[in-house]
Amino acid sequence: MHDDRTLTEERLDRALRERIRPAVHPRTAPLEFEVWHAPGEPVPFAEAMAGPYEHGAVGDDWGPAWGTSWFRVTGRVPADWAGETVEAVIDLGFAQDRPGFSAEALAHRPDGSVVKALNPRNTWLRVGEPAAGGEEFTYYLEAAANPEILDGVSALGDRETAGGEPLYRVERMDVAVFDQQVWELVQDLEVLDQLMRQLPLGSARRWEILRAVERCLDALDLDAVGTNASAARERLRPVLSSPAHASAHRLSAVGHAHIDSAWLWPLRETVRKVTRTTSNVVALMDDHPEFVFAMSQAQQLDWLREHQPALYARVKEKVAAGQFVPVGGMWVESDTNMPGSEALARQFVYGKRFFLEEFGVETEEVWLPDSFGYSAALPQLVALSGSRWFLTQKISWNTTNRFPHHSFLWEGLDGTRVFTHFPPVDTYVAELSGEELAHAERNFRDKGHATRSLVPFGWGDGGGGPTREMLARAGRLADLEGSPRVTIEKPADFFAAAEAEYERPPVWLGELYLELHRGTYTSQARTKQGNRRSEHLLREAELWAATASVRAGFRYPYEELDRLWKTVLLHQFHDILPGSSIAWVHQEAEATYARVAEELEALIGAAQRALAGAPDDGGTVVFNSAPHGRAGVAAGGAALAGRPAEGPVAAEAVDGGFRLDNGLLRVTVDARGLVVSVVDLVAGRETVAPGCAANLLQVHPDLPNRWDAWDVDAFYRNTVTDLTDAEAVRRVGDGVEVVRAFGSSLVTQVLSLRPGARRLDIDTEVDWHEREKFLKAAFPIDVRADHSTAETQFGHVQRPTHTNTSWEAAKFEICAHRFLHVGEPGWGAALINDSTYGHDVTRTVREDGSTTTTVRLSLLRAPRYPDPETDQGVHRLRYALLPGATIADAVREGWQFALPERRVPGSTGVAPLVSVDGDAVVVTAVKLADDGSGDVVVRLHEAHGGRAPACLTTGFPLSGARVADLLERPFADASAEVDGNAVRLRLRPFQILTLRLTPGDGA
């Protein structure tokens, strides 16, 4: 037999494109429409109803960037269409390759109720089934002109520079007959075509499908497709009814719509995207009772509850019916590298609680497909939130190493393990194509041990969700020879079956580091500073409000703290905190953080004034919010001002530079303003490697191959400019000020020692006007360290400093929170910071055999996409060098650097509400219980990486103590060992413990 395969495949392509698909709507008539271009921000439906509409026509332009146009569409079903299925088919200028990224619309009935949404792959509205001839109908379409900002430098992401020119054109406004049989034929042919092209050329099944397609096309009248579509489908029935092999891979298909809470659009647009997507989903559920849809991000459902109560009520009905499935257990799909300890815990607290209170659902699946790497703290947090399973997808984006598992046990810092799945389909926006399913089966790395994987299907990023075409594919692929078996089911059903069948799954220990998007640790510095500052202020507000409530009857601000936490958690979304959104998003974030700070400062001030008492003869009370005592003030307590005497800081001119000495450190700054010596006088050891300079600012070119704001590529290191020229090096007080000009920028640094502190503080102000550059601060340390230790949530993570394997080499940029430490037995050094996350660590061996370990902070970047003005302007960055530091020193100094003392007029010292003996156990939160019971909730963890016995003592009468989960729900065996006002504890390395402490009489 001759090989005529290509002939038939090309024949099918053209027939589908030119004849069969167009015949789905064989008869059409134009719709009439009017349009009103709403000025400014979106308006509610009632206001839109009264807008001054004007006549419109197909071909009209509409939609300046970020504008909203309302279309009033009217039509009549022709009399001779009575009994037919009739749809309105509308194309507002959609970009077909980007569902949910550009023009979208929400259809309303005249009474304001929502019908469904329109987007590039979903352009229909059902008018009647069957339709009544002569029936008139009206729809109001709220059309959003979201600009496409997909690559390159664009001004469209900022309202001030986006311009007012129309971006879109009305392409189609028709009422049409929908031919169900032709549509079904399209689905049959597409499924078989996609499957056929994935089968081996030598496969008999491929040729069986090819011949069946050939017979189908022979039977089809291409001039009148609808007349014999049913007969043509019969030619396909034998190949569509052949069952899958017994060993075929099993795919659990879960409807999904990944909706970025902000990215190439602002938060306000995401509110509308959520409405559009959920309206599509519930409409689809009405027609397809087998359809299951999973939605994460409690924040998005809360938006729906607030802005679209009627639609939200429909969602609640579908949740009760088991079709709409809340998943994720988090407030948003947050970044997990940079949120602080308590913030990451609160993501679970607020997300899980919302689903429980609103739907009565205890979510068990943590759903994070698109975040940029996953913290080693997550497994313990997952378990403590009451969840069982974890799902991610983004690790498939690794550029260096292929992750070795798809189903596995993920072991976190403390030893907690959670069953984790990484879908081998390698996408969270699947359309259930033959190519995707074949890839999932081929790619699955646990063959022979497991038979199942999950595939999230539905248009996403900008939303949209599943379509009727996707459901048609799923139905045909449920049991089809040559394909994996596809079953639409809930994520929990998949996870339970996958976990049960995998008797001894492999274990992955530690973080899931994404070998991509490393620039997100640095991009948009103001957003990152706002997050860090907000986290610390929230800690202080809860601590002092709880203390004042127990001690002074102060009103605990439950509602205010709840609202502020949700605001901060929202901005930890994985395209906001990482700095990978348009200018509009980050401008709003900066303003929001300023409002959050102002409100939290007021709450802190009010609580501290309630505690400090009336000022007496100008008395001052010093408050210490850090979890360690300092300068005579206990952790979480306050004392009347007064410090033990400390030695002075000596500052003298030396060889054109300066020498600073506080008896603990002796620092030499040369005439260039570079730190050439830091002697640890306690250990008698030099910190700076021979011939090197510390606090050396370095500038690299920074033009990654693909995603500007997201990535730094390893080749950036090949070219570097050391900033050694100084405009000025001068003494200021007991410190040294250094001014440098470079490119179009200016940097001013003040280097200082504090009395009694083994720490060199560096306060940096940068007026940054570079483009596509990367600013680093280098500290070459005379220490041989084969690993670095970086603070992460509720502990620290160690990473190799060498590049023995590709896995280590890929970690050329790493994330740390308040500290990064390197050391050898007996001596080490740490860098601490107030708002920097990106770091890198390298090592060289000198000619004498000694090792230099260079730690660098990533201070600023200047990517141009998606925000061409990223980080332009003035920044203040604070960091410090700690010679002779242990891990315990780094933990303590990191907290104290971040939480400076507060001084308040008053006359009353304040004993801590709770205190813990020893530095190894760190209290991350002290608050009142969310249920209003008056219980004091304390969250703490072991911070040094070892076992830690500890005693927690309360500053109030204690009647009971229970161990609880993150949501403050006591465990079944929840009692703690209590002795008077003391609670005896024993923690394993990095263990997190939440205690509910019930005050006794007299508290």
**What's the CA gap between 195 and 242, in Å, rounded?**
13
Asked whether the beta carbons of 976 and 961 are under 8 A apart, the reply is yes
**What's the CA gap between 22 and 461, in Å, rounded?**
28
Copy the structure tokens of residue 609. 């004034």
Distance of CA 579 to the CA centre of its chain: 11
Q: What CA dihedral angle connects 424, 430, 433 and 439, to 10 degrees?
A: -20
Paired residues of 841 in beta bridges: 855
AA letter at 512? L
Q: Where do runs of H (alpha helix) occur along 920-999?
A: none
Annotated catalytic residue within 91, 179, 188, 370 = 370
For 145-156, give the DSSP string: EPPP--SS--ST
Provide CB contacts within 8 A for 39, sequence distance 6+.
Answer: none
Q: Is the bond into 466 cis (omega within 30 degrees of 0)?
A: no
Please give the C-alpha separations between residue 607 and each of 168, 600, 601, 603, in angstroms, as whole numbers.
54, 11, 10, 6
Of 870, 865, 857, the closest CA to residue 830 belongs to 857
- For CA atoms 194, 199, 204, 205, give the dihedral sign: negative
Largest Cα separation within the chain, whole Å, is 106
Please give the C-alpha separations between residue 779 and each of 674, 765, 830, 840, in angstroms, as whole numbers.
11, 18, 10, 11
Helix, strand or coil, per DSSP, at residue 868 = coil
**What's the CA gap between 545 and 552, in Å, rounded?**
10
Please give the C-alpha separations between residue 961 and each of 628, 921, 973, 977, 982, in angstroms, as whole numbers.
23, 18, 12, 8, 10
Q: What CA dihedral angle connects 775, 780, 786 and 792, to 10 degrees?
A: -50
Give the pairing of strands 172-177 and 86-91: antiparallel
Please give the C-alpha separations between residue 663 and each of 648, 670, 805, 830, in angstroms, as whole numbers.
8, 20, 43, 19
Provide CB contacts within 8 A for 55, sequence distance 6+.
Answer: 34
61 is catalytic: no
Give the total residue count for the chain.
1003
Provide CB contacts within 8 A for 106, sequence distance 6+.
Answer: 114, 116, 117, 118, 141, 142, 272, 275, 276, 279
**What's the CA gap between 145 and 993, in Å, rounded?**
49
Asked whether the beta carbons of 482 and 195 are under 8 A apart, the reply is yes
Asked whether the beta carbons of 324 and 295 are under 8 A apart, the reply is yes
Burial of 295 (0-12, 13-18, 19+ CB in 10 A): buried
Q: Which residues are catalytic?
A: 370
